[in-house]
């Protein structure tokens, strides 16, 4: 159920994305691997923040980047998290403080080892580099909100958080 721009409430909204089926197979390999590995349709996550009075998406891709709100309007599911104005501000500041930081590709491999091979490696290989869902969870934790207790969250872990308000693809009401 792709989101509409009018559905975005403000800082702290979370976007969980499905693998875009219109992309070439080569571009979808990582997304499809994440979906299969986690047995969950969500393959990427991002957070809505306020930057210079405007709402934007901040996400961990190859680096933490700022993107326009409509970037995932064809394959993103929007979830609201109830936050105070102070938490909105803290979350936005935290997310924007990481813009330009390298993406933690090694974290994706660790997630594969954890989810598929049931091997747990602690501590994380490089905690300075976050993957997309680790970045979203970190932003919320910085604002005093724990979305998940997973030590290395995947988009699947975020999707099961009771703090994310909105329908899930597996809910009967969204079919």
19-34 residue pLDDT tens: 877 777 766 766 776 6
- Residue 174 is assigned to a structural domain of this protein: no
Residue 163 inside a domain? The answer is yes
**At residue 133, does pLDDT exceed 60?**
yes
- More confident of the two residues 62 and 12: 12
Asked, for residue 175, whether it belongs to a domain, the answer is no
Identify whether 137 is part of a domain.
yes
- Maximum alpha-carbon separation in the chain: 45
The residue behind tokens 């989101």 is: 3
Q: Rounded to an integer, what distance in angstroms lies between the CA atom of residue 53 and that of residue 49?
A: 10
Return the SS3 of 136: helix
Q: Is residue 161 part of a domain?
A: yes
Residue 7 has pLDDT above 60, yes or no: yes
**Torsion sign (Cα): 125, 117, 131, 85:** negative
Domain that holds residue 118: 5-167
CATH code for position 156:
3.90.1720.10
Could you give the CA distance from residue 117 to residue 110 in angstroms, rounded to a whole number? 10
Mean pLDDT of the chain: 83
pLDDT confidence tier of residue 124, bands split at 50, 70 and 90: very low
pLDDT of residue 55 exceeding 70: yes
Are 66 and 52 contacting, i.e. CB atoms less than 8 angstroms apart? no
Whether 48 is in a domain gets the answer yes
């Amino acid at each position: 159920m792709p989101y509409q721009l009018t559905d975005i409430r403000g800082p702290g909204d979370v976007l969980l994305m499905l693998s875009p089926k219109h992309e070439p197979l080569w571009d979808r390999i990582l997304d499809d691997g994440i979906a299969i590995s986690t047995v969950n349709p969500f393959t990427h996550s991002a957070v809505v923040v306020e930057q210079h009075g405007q709402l934007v998406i901040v996400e961990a891709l190859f680096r933490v980047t700022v993107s326009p709100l409509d970037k995932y309007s064809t394959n993103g599911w929007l979830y609201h998290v109830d936050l105070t104005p102070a938490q909105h501000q803290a979350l936005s500041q935290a997310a924007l403080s990481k813009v330009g930081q390298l993406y933690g590709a090694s974290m994706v491999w660790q997630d594969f080892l954890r989810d598929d091979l049931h091997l747990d490696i602690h501590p994380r290989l490089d905690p300075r580099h976050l993957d997309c869902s680790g970045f979203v969870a970190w932003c919320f934790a910085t604002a005093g909100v724990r979305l998940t207790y997973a030590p290395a969250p995947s988009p699947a872990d975020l999707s099961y958080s009771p703090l994310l308000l909105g329908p899930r693809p597996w809910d009967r009401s969204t079919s």
